[in-house]
A and B are shown apart, each in its own frame.
Chain A
Amino acid sequence: MTLLTKDEAYAILKKVLSYSKADECEVNLAGTNSSNIRYARNAVSTSGSISQFQLVVSSAYGKKSGIATINELDDTSLEKVVRRSEELAQLAPENPEYVSFLGPQTYAEPITYVPATAAITPKMRADAVAQSLQVAKGTKTVAAGFLEDNNGFTAMMNSKGLFAYNTSTNTNFSITMRTEDGKGSGYATRGYNDITKLNVKEATEIAAQKAVKSATAKGIEPGKYTVILEPAAAAVLLERIFFGLDARQADEGRSFLSKPGGGTKLGEKLVDERVNIYSNPLHPDLPTSTWNGDGRPQEKVSWIEKGVIKNLTYSRYWAQNKNVKAVPGPDAAIMEGGTKSLEELIAGTKKGVLVTRLWYIRDVDPQTLLLTGLTRDGTFYIENGKIQYPIKNFRFNESPIIMLNNLEELGKVERTVSVESNVNYLLPPLKIRDFTFSSLSDAV
């Protein structure tokens, strides 16, 4: 599918709105091309290519609204979909929390589209996998990996004069290498908007090294340990804070950000003062859309500054209710780090555990944000500044809030991908004291 240009999208959206008879109308238009290649047991297992297009029309009469869609762009179809959305709006019950569509907004020019990523071919994907399989052959390991890429556009326009357009590209790669006897396993993941930054061979080599080094794991007692979390491991814990920044939940008293007796912890120190977390859609190493799904601009926002909660996310209804700015949730997050490499963090550790990946993270208690999950694909015991030996995996029960209060050190920031949500982040490795491992796992 050829992506629509800004002018082409504008013309179609304008035409759709010209058919509207409702009090308000908003139209969203999107098209994506996504392709992938998956391999396991040192051979390609599945591979595919999917092309999809979507036009969504939202009509409203007072506080009653309806939505209809179509994937054809001839005039008859466009008018038909508008009429359908209007009929549905008339049938719908009134929603007291309905908020009128946004008027015109100003957006920064996004930097999310890289032509090289949009131009990737089936041959290039297969060539990338061939490089990975070559590493497997050389290290006598077994590769299982996944490479996906997509390109697309989104655009929206409404009867109050708002227009937004964005194109984007993305590629994610992940690789698990296991020793032939199944006793060692290692993992690496990479995500970029620009495919030319992806080095499949380098990532595969790192995963293979971890696999080989983790093959003779010993069991050590569960308990509280100083841990060094590589960014991929830190991501799946920290993102639970990012996902939980909703102001309404906090105001209603059912969040880790609620205060006893009412109110929220906005403006209060929640974690170690070295913690600074923000989002910025124009960050050159982690660009994201400059507008969100309901047309609000995405801007640089500080979420935690010197350990203090600086902002919460607000739906437009809840912001209106509380008379505050309707700050949308971020599409990605950035945590400031330090200057030390992972190796330097290890070198400064007397006794501890290096965690390279965490897995199956689930909420245990929303009040304290207590999470459970397991280490996976390479866990190592550190003593006197050196990795001494691989250890068996642990189950943990820990809250990222408690964890960020037990912060020892931050390393250098790098881009990583959450294995749970697939969201990309810029995060440092974290050194944490008293991290709670509650039981051992025999899983490799």
Chain B
Amino acid sequence: MGAAASMIPAIPVIGKPIDPERMLESVDPATKKKMADIALNAARSQGATYTDVRVGRYLNQFVVTREDKVQNIVNTETYGMGIRVIANGGWGFAATDKLDNDSIAQTARLAVAIAKENSRLLTEPVRLAPQKGFGEVSWKAPIEKNAFEVPIKEKVDLLLGVNSAAMKSGADYINSILFLVNEQKYFASSEGSYIDQDVHRIWPVFFVTKIDKETGKFETRNSLSTPIGMGYEYLNARPQDKIQGVTTLYKGRYDMLEDAKAAGAQAGEKLKAKSVEPGKYDLVLDPSHLWLTIHESVGHPSELDRVLGYEANFAGTSFLTLDKWQSKNFKFGSNLVNLVADKTQVGSLGAVGYDDEGVKCGQWDIIKDGVLVNYQAIRDQAHILGLDASQGCCYADNWSSVQFQRMPNVSLQPGKEKKSMDDIIKGVEKGIYIVGDGSFSIDQQRYNFQFGGQLFYEIKNGKIVGALKDVAYQSNTQEFWNSCVGIADSSDYRLGGSFFDGKGQPGQVSAVSHGSSTARFNGVNVINTSRKI
């Protein structure tokens, strides 16, 4: 569904269910190297001038519950090989789940045949940025506790406890899900790289509903967790991982039980909350909300493939055209606004050692002191920006998907002045404090957007005075970021993110994080979303 960031887990079972003990198996890199070499040799013999091979084993585990029932425990595995080649100057790609020698060679030959067939429709040959071969190297996510090693019973007990806590505090319904990912990715190229990587991600999430039986009205409150690039340790929140305020917020680690208890009560409070008066407000946005605004209004428009028109038929283009970057003075946001791309941030969803075309990952500025200074590029785009190397933004969501330009972690840098979340709220006369992500939509060039949230609090004269509902704000990306007048310091910095950022044809998803501290935006248009049918 859809093209843009998607957070609601429709439980995309991309793979094949397997039994639990197989989740801990991995394939010997030497075996993968042998298979990769067969593909590399077969493609070269057919005339490929460049080949890369990805042998991927992707493991997912879902534990799905509602109220006092376990609805599903699903283990999936998908294992196969994708082969990408350049022949006659154009790209070709083929993939197979048959990993015998003949099938691998046949798939490589098919990729070359496709490239040659399509090369007659090129306007110019592919230009790859130089990339040295790294030889045999590896990278592992620095997790403390492999979630796949945790017994199923422990996960079930956690979720049923979460459901019970929410029901006791007033929820009528709750769905809770534990979603675990392990990507075992092997990359080999005709340039001499053999890269073995082990990536882990986790997302505990719930959805609470409270119904007013008399009126038939209902309200929901989703968890304030974030999908994150950590192991099971994410679910072990310590006192220092919590920020106490009008609601408890989580930094680095997450207390699912405590959040569910709060959610049950808050869903009921939302039923009684004041419906917002539409108009202009100063918004104070918590990182659990602001990550999504960053994702949609900064992450996507600074993707170079959109800027150039490669996504024009589906996900759209971008208002951040090359002339704006070339001018060196395009005022994207206020002077406070610094947005950094980072593929190495520890614990983030996008962190890897090497991207899916064998480029070592790093960090760079996209918006510096409010000015557009860079984009996100891969090997065949680097020359357009005058870069002598790729920025390492290539990713495929599966061995069967062709890799292309995907977003790195893009994060708003904390304010340089010492300022807490409370300090930000103190300065607001008429405003709304928004926690958690909700409804989201933005146009195909990333100007006009509308966002909801989970919890809305009215601010009057520097103080939170009560809960609101039916809140959504609309703005234009450039106006919004230029209205940024305050950002809390690094002590408030937290990550949010998405497991299912969608892009491309055929559609692919990727997981990406966005960090920020609490920030203030002045004079934003707020609408009331209540209707009658």
Contact = CB atoms under 8 A, between A and B. Distances in A.
Contacts of B445: 442-444
Contact of A420 (B2, B156, B214, B440): B2
A419 B312 CA distance: 13
Contact of A360 (B3, B77, B118, B309): B3
Contacts of B400: 50, 52
B452 A443 contact: no
Interface string B498-533: 000000011100000000000000000101011111
Interface string A90-110: 011101110000000000000
Given A49-B114, A130-B121, A441-B447, A368 B533 contact: yes
B16 A54 contact: yes
Contact of B527 (A40, A66, A93, A397): A397
Contacts, number: 265
Contacts of A290: none
Interface string B66-95: 000111111101001000000000111111
Given A48-B114, A49-B94, A360-B2, A144 B18 contact: no
Contact of B91 (A47, A361, A395, A397): A47
B486 interface: no
B218 interface: yes
B213 A374 contact: no
A440 B215 CA distance: 35
Given A48-B94, A87-B19, A373 B441 contact: yes
Nearest to A85: B19
A203 to B, nearest CB: 12
A258 B216 contact: yes
A96, A256, A441, most chain B CB atoms within 10 A = A441
A316 interface: no
Interface residues of A, number: 98
B123 interface: yes
A374 B69 contact: no
What class of interface size applies to chain B in its complex with A?
35 or more
A386 interface: no
Interface in A63-86: 66-71, 84-85
B29 interface: no
Contacts of B441: 360-362, 372-374, 395
Contact of B16 (A56, A148, A442): A56
A159 B79 CA distance: 29
Interface of A: 34, 36-54, 56, 66-71, 84-85, 87-88, 91-93, 95-97, 122-123, 125-126, 129-130, 133, 142, 144-146, 148, 174-176, 178, 182, 185, 187, 252-254, 256, 258-262, 359-370, 372-374, 376, 393, 395, 397, 399, 401-402, 419-422, 438-444
The 3 closest A-B pairs by CB, nearest first: A260-B216, A48-B93, A443-B445
Given A44-B90, A122-B117, 14 more contacts: A40-B310, A43-B122, A49-B95, A68-B19, A133-B121, A144-B313, A174-B313, A174-B314, A261-B214, A365-B470, A366-B220, A399-B533, A420-B3, A443-B445
